[in-house]
Amino acid sequence: MTSLPFFTCRSLLLLFMLLLGVASSASLQAAEDRTQVELATTKGVIVLDLYPDQAPETVANFLRLVDSGFYDGLSFHRVVPGFMIQTGGYDAKLNLHEAPRQVPNESFNSLSNFRGSVAMARLDDPDSAGSQFFINVRNNPHLNSRPGKPGYTVFGRVLSGMEVVNEIELTPTTNRNGLANVPVEPVLITRAKRL
């Protein structure tokens, strides 16, 4: 039986380690490039497909929040049937979780607030979006940008789980702690993660 010379075995081992390192680096990059997010909620799973090309700063901010665990344990605190469901700011006891940063408005990206689209919530200041977002449960063209008037930045869509969105939409609500349309029984994001 013939054995390979030592230097050949060593060369093969180094080549193997190099290839393994390249593969690991590629898989890490692939993980960072993933633009689908799973929201595991107390009503079921919603999968979002994000649009980094049309809303790059919004998507980057959203993914940083997802990766940091910011959304885990937060509630859908505003649920309006026939309009939208909103989350990303309050826990089950309606304690506010402040967003760590704000992002500029990117609503002039030709994306519309149609049924199943995901958009950033904000105050009157167009650049005040931080962590709160909503899922449109019907077409809401009045939320879109118009010439000279920013709208609400759409940055993704529901890829699967629209039936969960519909179930959340029909959750009984009340007014509590100065907030309107709060689900009587909290609906929580138990875990948000990239797929």
Angstrom distance (rounded) from CA 181 to CA 73:
19
Q: Is the pTM of this model over 0.85?
A: no
> What does the DSSP assignment read for 22-81?
HHHHHHHHHHHH--EEEEEETTEEEEEEE-TTTSHHHHHHHHHHHHHTTTTTEEEEEEET
Per-residue pLDDT reduced to its tens digit, 35-73: 999 999 999 999 999 999 999 999 999 999 999 999 999
Geometric angle at alpha carbon 97, from 91 and 102, rounded to 5°: 135
Q: How confident is the model at residue 148 (pLDDT cuts 50, 70, 90)?
A: very high
Over residues 105-115, mean pLDDT? 97
Within a 10 A sphere around the Cβ of 116, how many other Cβ atoms? 17
Structure confidence at residue 17 as a pLDDT band (50, 70, 90):
low
Q: Are 21 and 172 in contact (CB under 8 A)?
A: no
